[in-house]
A = this chain, B = another copy of it.
Amino acid sequence: MATVTLADVARAAGVSRSTASRALSGSSLISLETRAAVQDAARALGYRVNRAASALRSNRSHLIGLVMNNLINQTFHTIAEVVQRRAAEAGFQVILCITDADPHREREVLGMLADHGVDGAIVMGTGRNRSEIGVLREHGCAVVHLIRSVAGSDAMTVLADDVAGARAATEHLLGLGHRRIGFIGGPLEADSGRERFKGYADTLADAGVGGLDELVRRGPLTAEFGSEAAASLLAVDPPMTALYAANHEATFGILPTLAELGVAIPDALSLICHEDMRWLALWRPGLTVVDNGAGELGAIAVDLLLNQIRNPSADGGRTYRVGPRLIERDSCRRIDRIDGGPG
């Protein structure tokens, strides 16, 4: 089938061979019209690039790796969809890599990406494997850390502003008159667990609300932990009047537990969840959430990565933060101070 050459395509499209080559490789230097004309000519003639051969020639594979813990978390699959879409528009394809948050598997995945000669990688990782990431970068692979930073890595990093997100949730509840505000969140070892707790605790401290240790539960990112933590918080006296569910895994446990125990939302308890999911808007009542901006996180990460691939001298090291957005629905109510007990 390899009888049609790049020169044939260039001739049919009325452009030079190098323009045709750049158009087919998705170069942003070529106008959309020219790209379309060259692609049409290539399609009409049945021309196919041999990516393996052209990767050896150009040292460009047009592949990028996307390393993530899982695809089930809505934040992750939203990011994967956005990254794939924008990368494809720029002529790059995404190799999907799922690590189950296992640093050993992640290390294997990073090695495999090096083997495939990817031009770049977005790593939503375990926060480990700094040296393997360094090796990737030495091989000329652009790297962006997403969601979770890697201590000591000087690659670009895109993070959700989790402190601000937790602050927004806590301030919203304080503004409605709540003082006894419970917290269920992830472990301090996870960036998100640590930062969301900090946003919550600092906001309460700034407001002069203290002594809420008994209303804090931190543990693994699982529905089971959310369920246990909710049941345990409901047993505290004086009771909490509001609860901040600081990750979506916990939310999967907290909601059925509150329903089973007959806790009316928002009459008996105001509730804010961190990380929006489509069904949280359908829940009755609709749940007020801190939207972490998954789509925006993915978009910025892939744009930074593509820029770095095209311009390898681009500045590394910088950290970008995507701010939260509070989406008010019907799960929080205003209370009089007295409702909150002596707090």
Contacts and interface: CB of A to CB of B under 8 A. Distances in A.
B84 A97 contact: yes
Given A77-B72, A115-B50, A94 B95 contact: yes
A84 B277 CA distance: 24
A96 B98 contact: no
Contact of A48 (B50, B115, B252): B115
A284 interface: yes
Interface string A112-153: 101111000000000000000000001100000000000000
The number of times this chain is found in the oligomer is: 2
Given A111-B43, A139-B1, A259-B284, A61 B52 contact: yes
Contacts of A55: 52
Contacts of A252: 278-279, 282
Q: What 4 A-B pairs have minimum CB-CB distances, sorted nearest first?
A: A52-B55, A279-B279, A71-B81, A96-B96
Interface of A: 1, 43, 48-53, 55-56, 61-63, 66, 70-72, 77-78, 80-81, 84-85, 88, 93-98, 109, 111-112, 114-117, 138-139, 252, 255-256, 259, 277-279, 282, 284
20 contacts: A1-B139, A43-B111, A48-B111, A48-B115, A49-B115, A50-B117, A51-B116, A52-B61, A52-B116, A62-B116, A63-B116, A71-B81, A72-B77, A72-B78, A80-B80, A84-B98, A88-B112, A93-B112, A93-B116, A95-B96
